[in-house]
Amino acid sequence: MSATHTPVMLNEMLNALRPDNGDTIVDATFGVGGYSRAILEEADCSLWAIDRDPAAIKRAEAISSDRFTVARGTFGQMDALLAKYGVFQVDGIVMDLGVSSPQLEEKSRGFSFRHDGPLDMRMALQGPTAADFVNAADEDCLVKIIRTLGEERLARRIGKAIVAARSENPIKRTGQLANIIRRVVPKAKDGLDPATRTFMALRLHINNELGELDRALIAAEQLLAPGGRLVIVAFHSLEDRRVKRFFDERTGYSNRPSRHAPQQQSLCQPSFSQARRRPLKPTPAEIASNPRARSARLRAAWRTASAPWHTKPSDAHKGAAA
Ligand X SMILES: C[S@@+](CC[C@H](N)C(=O)[O-])C[C@H]1O[C@@H](n2cnc3c(N)ncnc32)[C@H](O)[C@@H]1O
Q: Which residues of the shown chain bind ligand X in the complex (CB under 6 A)?
A: 5, 7, 29, 31-35, 50-53, 56, 74-76, 96, 98-100, 123, 212
Q: Which is nearer to ligand X, 90 or 154 (CB)?
A: 90
- Please give the helix or strand (H or E) that residue 243 lies within, else none: helix 237-250
Minimal distance in Å, beta carbon 7 to ligand X?
A: 4
The dihedral built from the CA positions of residue 5, 9, 10 and 14, taken in this order, carries a sign that is negative
Minimal distance in Å, beta carbon 174 to ligand X?
A: 18
Minimal distance in Å, beta carbon 281 to ligand X?
A: 17
Q: Which is nearer to ligand X, 130 or 143 (CB)?
A: 130
The angle subtended at Cα 201 by Cα 237 and Cα 100, nearest 5°, is 75
Q: Which is nearer to ligand X, 52 or 245 (CB)?
A: 52
Minimal distance in Å, beta carbon 309 to ligand X?
A: 21
Comparing CA positions, the residue from 193, 190, 157, 151 lying closest to residue 175 is 193
- Provide the β-strand partners of residue 94: 27, 231
The residue of the chain with the least Cβ separation from ligand X equals 31
Phi and psi at residue 29, to the nearest 5°? -140, 80
Minimal distance in Å, beta carbon 96 to ligand X?
A: 4
Q: Which is nearer to ligand X, 52 or 166 (CB)?
A: 52
Q: Which is nearer to ligand X, 207 or 251 (CB)?
A: 207
Q: Which is nearer to ligand X, 19 or 34 (CB)?
A: 34
Q: Are the beta carbons of 69 and 85 closer than 8 angstroms?
A: yes
Minimal distance in Å, beta carbon 194 to ligand X?
A: 24
Distance (Å) of CA 267 to CA 82, 198, 250, 252, 264: 29, 40, 11, 10, 10
3-class secondary structure, 232? strand
DSSP track, 152-169: -TTHHHHHHHHHHHHHHS
Name the DSSP letter for residue 7: P
